[in-house]
């Protein structure tokens, strides 16, 4: 897979989840057995806004040819997805908030994105 293709996949995931968290946060989190109070809805919508921002960033970056600029975007994604993976994994292992088994899909998505961005940062940084 090329970095361009990977950025497209990452942007589509960010758009899908970002829109879900902005427009229907309670319905989306109910799939994970999570009930949001008004404060939780607010935080979920802010998270959705951040995901939409990353979606736009990755979508627009897919055609960039400047190696330094691409490595900055790859590193930013790696940091966000790496930390997201750690938080999702620890929370799932601890049974935080009664999150059901669907929570493991969040762990997997963050892991796959982090591994992909790590690959383009450390293994194939010259492919950009």
Residue 125: pLDDT band with limits 50, 70, 90: confident
CA distance 10 to 78: 11
Contact, 34 vs 18, CB < 8 A? no
What is the distance between the alpha carbons of residues 3 and 88, in angstroms, rounded to a whole number?
25
Residue 97, pLDDT score: 82
Q: How many CA atoms lie within 13 A of 14 on its CB side?
A: 23
Residue 88 in contact with residue 112, Cβ under 8 Å? no
In percent, how much of the chain has pLDDT > 90?
95
For residue 47, the Cα-to-chain-centroid distance in whole angstroms is 10
Mean pLDDT of the chain: 96
What is the mean predicted confidence (pLDDT) over 94-111?
94
Confidence of residue 35 (pLDDT cuts 50, 70, 90): very high
- Conformation bin of residue 2: beta by default, left when phi > 0, alpha when psi is -120 to 50: beta
Q: Is 15 a residue whose pLDDT tops 70?
A: yes
Q: What is the pLDDT of residues 44-98, one digit of tens each?
A: 999 999 999 999 999 999 999 999 999 999 999 999 999 999 999 999 999 998 8
Radius of gyration of the chain (CA): 15
Residue 92 has which token pair? 């799932």
Exposed, middle or buried, 9 (CB in 10 Å: 0-12/13-18/19+)? middle
With cut-offs at 50, 70 and 90, classify the pLDDT of residue 127: low
In this predicted structure, what is the pLDDT of residue 126?
A: 74
Q: What percent of the chain is predicted at pLDDT more than 70?
A: 98
């Amino acid at each position: 897979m090329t970095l361009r293709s990977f950025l497209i996949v990452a942007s589509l995931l960010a758009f899908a989840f970002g829109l879900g968290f902005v427009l229907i946060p309670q319905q989306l989190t109910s799939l994970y057995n999570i009930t949001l109070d008004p404060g939780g809805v607010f935080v979920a919508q802010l998270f959705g806004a951040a995901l939409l921002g990353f979606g736009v960033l990755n979508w627009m970056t897919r055609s960039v040819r400047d190696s330094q600029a691409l490595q900055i975007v790859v590193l930013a994604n790696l940091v966000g997805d790496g930390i997201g993976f750690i938080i999702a994994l620890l929370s799932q292992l601890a049974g935080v908030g009664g999150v059901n088994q669907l929570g493991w899909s969040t762990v997997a998505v963050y892991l796959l994105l982090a591994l992909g961005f790590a690959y383009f940062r450390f293994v194939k940084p010259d492919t950009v």
